[in-house]
Structure 1
């Protein structure tokens, strides 16, 4: 047997638009005004590939990157240029200390316990304030009782819970964060995520931390015109077949043909992150021709109506309609779930 490794091409892939990614960052940077604009690249840059995203955004001028944990920090450390900063949002556990003390990244301290753990190192850190979301963060009452002079704090930050809505909580969190800054200060302050940037200058402070909108998410109307689609799932046709009136398709027969027409079976399914919410609602595209999903999405296969493109055949490629707001309406899933859930079976290529 030959030792030569035989390449097996993927049957589904993600086309990633590098120019759209950079354009989105620049649009968010413009909206951030005088504040510097970073990039949340946690969860492997929302599924796109953290190293490639860092490379492209650094070239555009981005100098602050936000990851969830130290494994994610380690993945990108070799890719960052001098002057680029990495913040680890989940903080520093006892088990993280050995790696964290030698890392280029800095922890975002989320509790008094983490503060005590880190202060002995003398190394830079960020600080998360709980301004009302009640996830991670130090409560304002604890902030007022602590002497912060012993910490080298870069960013004092908090996180908006409902910036995608026009609700009183946004102003409440802004006021809470403002009040805390009189007791603890760092070199910089930060409050806004992608949607928070669209709330206006009062929310921008010194630096902003967009995530979803970098990758095509549009959580507020103010973002709609500026943000471009970045991710385009594509898949191959495995088989074409002809339905007759009365034929049923897929698990539990959720589609029954009311006319004779051709369908294609695609090499993609909910194991790839194209979830059951798209059953009988999703669309694929061949150019501008819409190819509706028929019946239930299964683990590895999807059926589509190719009446409008009957020349399609085995091994031809089609593209999922995956503009995030549109796909969210089709599936009932959040834009965040749609993009971070795209699976590992896709090959990824940048254009």
Structure 2
């Protein structure tokens, strides 16, 4: 068992925090291996932005690098620095490019910028920067050069390791923009020399092998999210995170009394309420209240009342539970996203720093 470098607040001096994420490293690797098989001959990288989607980027990189992953993507240079030294033969790219403020760190590092704008291309070229990646926008209208800019000669003389684009509607398999973006990217591939070409994110991988090009860039699917209503993915992809919190107190609430802010939950009969040490400051947003279930003493139980900043209250019924016990919160990403209206991305990346992140 190892701890992520993203240390939890309060985990020092041998005092583990009262809330934890137990992360299944074997499931992470198995998800990456399955995604790799979906891309034909394409290599399979990994997106580790937002601190490895909330789980700990350093540990994700170490686990996947040991399994054979060689290409990683984060958002900013601060994220790249937080990951720390990279394993041998592993590459890391910064998706947001390179600002003037980032140039000293970028030039001193083997991490590559993904150049997105004319200004970034000019800045990198004039500084004598080495190999880089380039993003071309094929229809999401977010980051990237336009196809015309990419074909204009702007990129002549750059050593482009990977030319990237990003799909807008890959989580809707029948959306016509998917094929338009794929075809536009093929045209750019034929016009702009690079060592490799990359289009498919997690959902894009599931669109088929003609979206794979040379390099896959999965993110949410690595961590147990199912990016499209795909039966094969739903069966193959494994949840990586188990969420647990300790019971602070057990309360006996008489029939007719309310629990929590606004007294929105009323005991219909005398009730046992377990107060858990976790709340919306840890990413458990209030709208999750009606959607969450807790496993208390082996029984599935509903929440009682509103989620507050640092506490959740659970109707414990007659479950065998005591103060100090650990209670699991069912954090099945696809199921919870469908119930709550939040995306699987929000459910993972919003998890706070107070969790002890324990890898097994």
Query: TM-score, normalised on structure 1?
Result: 0.95
Matched, 1:207 2:215: yes
Deviation of 1:6 after TM superposition, in Å, equals 4.4
Residues in 2 aligned to 1:144 and 1:18: alpha-carbon distance in whole angstroms: 42
Q: What's 1:331 paired with?
A: 340
Kindly provide the CA deviation profile for residues 171-198 of structure 1, in whole angstroms up to 9, marking residues without a partner as x.
1111111122222120000000001000
Q: 1:301 aligns with which of 300, 311, 324?
A: 311
Deviation of 1:77 after TM superposition, in Å, equals 4.2
How do residues 259-278 of structure 1 correspond to structure 2 at under 5 angstroms? 259-278=269-288
Deviation of 1:7 after TM superposition, in Å, equals 3.2
Q: Secondary structure at the match of 1:265?
A: strand
Q: 1:20 aligns with which of 27, 35, 40?
A: 27
How do residues 67-78 of structure 1 correspond to structure 2 at under 5 angstroms? 67-78=74-85
Alignment gaps of 5+ in structure 2: 1-11
Conserved 8 A contact 1:130-1:136: yes
Conserved 8 A contact 2:107-2:129: no
Matched, 1:48 2:58: no
Kindly provide the CA deviation profile for residues 311-343 of structure 1, in whole angstroms up to 9, marking residues without a partner as x.
211000011100101121233211101100110
Matched, 1:11 2:18: yes
Q: 1:312 aligns with which of 321, 327, 336?
A: 321
Conserved 8 A contact 1:47-1:342: yes
Conserved 8 A contact 1:122-1:152: no
Matched, 1:170 2:172: no
Q: What's 1:99 paired with?
A: 105
Deviation of 1:122 after TM superposition, in Å, equals 4.5
Q: Evaluate the alpha carbon distance shift between residue 230 and residue 76 of structure 1 in structure 2; reply closer, same or farther with a 3 A threshold.
A: same
Deviation of 1:280 after TM superposition, in Å, equals 2.9
What is the root-mean-square deviation of aligned Cα atoms in Å? 1.4
Residues in 1 aligned to 2:63 and 2:297: alpha-carbon distance in whole angstroms: 28
Residues in 2 aligned to 1:42 and 1:206: alpha-carbon distance in whole angstroms: 21
Matched, 1:226 2:233: no
Deviation of 1:133 after TM superposition, in Å, equals 0.6
Q: Evaluate the alpha carbon distance shift between residue 106 and residue 252 of structure 1 in structure 2; reply closer, same or farther with a 3 A threshold.
A: same
Deviation of 1:41 after TM superposition, in Å, equals 0.4
How many positions carry a matched residue from both structures?
A: 345
Conserved 8 A contact 1:290-1:308: no
Alignment gaps of 5+ in structure 1: none
Conserved 8 A contact 2:274-2:316: yes
Conserved 8 A contact 1:278-1:293: no
Matched, 1:340 2:340: no
Query: TM-score, normalised on structure 2?
Result: 0.93
